[in-house]
């Protein structure tokens, strides 16, 4: 059974979004890290970059596969988790905590209504 | 899911052990149990067991079976005796690699070939086509299970099950020994770059033997390993993977497998083509590449620093021991010098790479001096 955390937003490509005021913290779900297996590379997102909802922002690679990380919302990237860029296996160990990927200044909170809550996401990945 | 998928004999056991499965060569095969990294490190540091029953076993028997094997294979089988294993390739008439395989010499009149799962039928038909009249060819792949016990503790673990001194089985040698209360073929061979053994037996006793090794293996913190770790382990020491690094469009001179070809043999299948290839000179070269920023995978293209396409990647992976990413691939000559900088691309992303010496990690097998 994969872990899903209450209070976060989710999208179909298996990213989670935590909203704190205007800031969104983005990571991948437990399901995604388990599917990928041992993660060995994480591309460093560019601070200051403007992204649109759904954009492939960075790539992530495990031994098995390469995948894109899609931003769940539009906005500006304001911080990158460099510790995870250095040690990507942290994502496997703690995908909802220390394994967060980057922070974004959310442009339009209306976009949140397109995302799933924990219950819908659990259902989707059941 | 493909309806023609074959279940390996120990499928139910693997499922119980928590295996994740993938489709491979028409089999549903365990890819990993805990994680590829965990299993990889277990083999480098301690011991791991792989169920490699998907591998094919083809037996050639009858008068002068050994002479025939010497003709159909590139390595010198003629000079081998009971107990010898030879790593070799088998060529088509154009010098392309039909398969890479192990040849076990049981006697002058009996040879056991252990071939890649994806090539079992192809190899059988290929050999059949050239088979001498008095010889028998049997495909025993469905009857035999094979386990690989690999790692620095492999010998110590297996020694628990037999009075036979395993030191007597040297690197690339085999014997039939009394072990697990059975008489079983065991060779000091493998596909990991570690010391270890491969054991072959009738499938009826497979579950019993596998469980015995696994239970005793707990004393050595053993891991059951899947195809994932099998691939990352062989990759680190640059062992070729058929279908990725070699195939029928590639000859053993360009693949760096000339050491498997005895050009002094009077004749062997593909020899005339190889003579021509050697005289004309090969056009490409099999190289190792250190890659920065991602994994350069099978099928990615290689460019020189002026962005001219110069080759392709045949295998790529991450080394859990060196903590770097590497690729194997072919580059057109005169490219391919050690130190040359290249660019690797899947059409979307670009990684920088540098051609380096192979193997990435030196095998720690117990070669005789």
pLDDT digits (tens, 9 = 90+) for B167-213: 999 999 999 999 999 999 999 999 999 999 999 999 999 999 999 99
- Average pLDDT, stretch B96-121? 98
Is the separation of the CB atoms in B270 and B94 below 8 Å? yes
Instruction: Give whole-number Cα distances, B346 to A59, B274, B284, B299, B341, in Å.
Output: 13, 33, 20, 8, 17
Of B91, B62, B119, B142, residue with least CA distance to B263: B91
Q: Is the pLDDT of residue B1 over 70?
A: no
| B341-345 and B301-303 strand pairing | antiparallel
Q: Is the pLDDT of residue A84 over 70?
A: yes
For residue A63, which residues of chain B lie inside 8 Å, CB to CB? 36-37, 228, 232, 295, 317-318
Q: Is the pLDDT of residue B94 over 70?
A: yes
ipTM of the complex: 0.85
- Average pLDDT, stretch B312-339? 97
Q: Is the pLDDT of residue B322 over 90?
A: yes
Residue matched to tokens 């911080």: A79
Whole-model pTM: value is 0.94
Q: Could you tell me the pLDDT band of residue B366, with boundaries at 50, 70 and 90? A: confident
Q: How far apart are CA A28 and CA A57, in angstroms?
A: 13
CB pairs under 8 A between A and B: 41
Is the separation of the CB atoms in B155 and B168 below 8 Å? no
Q: How far apart are CA B83 and CA A59, in angstroms?
A: 50
Q: pLDDT per residue over A9-66, tens digit each?
A: 999 999 999 999 999 999 999 999 999 999 999 999 999 999 999 999 999 999 999 9
- Minimal Cβ distance to B35: which of A38, A43, A66: A38
Largest CA distance in chain B: 63
A93 vs B: CB within 8 A: no
Residue B3 has what pLDDT? 61
Q: Is the pLDDT of residue B277 over 90?
A: yes
For residue B294, which residues of chain A lie inside 8 Å, CB to CB? 41, 43, 59, 61, 66
């Amino acid at each position: 059974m994969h872990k899903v955390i209450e209070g976060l937003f989710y999208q179909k490509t298996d990213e989670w979004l935590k909203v704190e005021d205007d800031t969104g913290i983005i990571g991948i779900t437990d399901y995604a890290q388990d599917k990928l297996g041992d993660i060995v590379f994480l591309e460093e997102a560019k601070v200051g970059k403007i992204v649109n909802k759904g954009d492939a922002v960075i790539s992530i690679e495990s031994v098995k596969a390469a995948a894109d990380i899609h931003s769940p919302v539009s906005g500006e990237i304001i911080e990158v988790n460099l510790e995870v860029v250095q040690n990507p296996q942290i994502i496997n160990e703690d995908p909802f905590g220390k394994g967060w990927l980057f922070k974004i200044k959310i442009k339009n909170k209306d976009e949140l209504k397109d995302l799933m809550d924990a219950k819908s996401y659990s259902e989707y990945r059941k | 899911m493909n309806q023609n998928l074959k279940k390996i004999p120990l499928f139910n056991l693997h499922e119980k052990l928590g295996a994740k499965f993938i489709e491979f060569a028409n089999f549903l095969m365990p890819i990993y149990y805990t994680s590829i990294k965990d299993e990889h490190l277990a083999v480098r540091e301690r011991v791991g067991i792989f169920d490699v029953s998907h591998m094919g076993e083809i037996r050639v028997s009858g008068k002068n079976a050994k002479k025939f094997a010497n003709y159909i294979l590139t390595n010198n089988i003629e000079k081998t005796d009971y107990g010898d294993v030879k790593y070799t390739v088998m060529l088509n008439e154009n010098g392309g690699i039909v398969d890479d395989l192990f040849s076990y010499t049981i006697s002058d009149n009996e040879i056991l070939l252990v071939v890649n799962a994806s090539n079992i039928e192809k190899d059988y038909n290929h050999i059949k086509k050239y088979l001498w009249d008095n010889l028998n060819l049997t495909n025993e792949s469905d009857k035999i299970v094979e386990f690989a016990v690999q790692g620095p503790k492999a010998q110590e673990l297996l020694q628990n099950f037999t009075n036979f001194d395993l030191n007597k089985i040297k690197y690339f040698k085999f014997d039939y020994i009394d072990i697990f209360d059975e008489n079983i073929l065991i060779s000091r061979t493998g596909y990991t770059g570690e010391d270890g053994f491969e054991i072959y037996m009738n499938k009826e006793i497979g579950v019993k033997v596998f469980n015995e090794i696994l239970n005793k293996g707990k004393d050595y913190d053993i891991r059951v390993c899947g195809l994932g770790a099998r691939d990352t382990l062989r990759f680190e020491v640059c062992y070729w993977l058929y279908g990725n690094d070699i195939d029928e469009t590639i000859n053993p001179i360009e693949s760096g497998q000339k050491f498997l070809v005895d050009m002094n043999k009077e004749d062997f299948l593909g020899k005339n083509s190889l003579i021509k290839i050697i005289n004309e000179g090969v056009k490409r070269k099999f190289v190792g590449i250190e890659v920065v920023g991602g994994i350069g995978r099978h099928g990615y293209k290689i460019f020189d620093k002026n962005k001219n396409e110069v080759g392709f990647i045949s295998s790529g992976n991450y080394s859990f021991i060196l903590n770097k990413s590497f690729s194997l691939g072919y580059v057109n000559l005169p490219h391919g010098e050690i130190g040359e900088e290249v660019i690797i691309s899947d059409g979307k992303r670009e990684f920088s790479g540098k051609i380096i010496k192979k193997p990435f990690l030196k095998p720690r097998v117990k070669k005789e001096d």
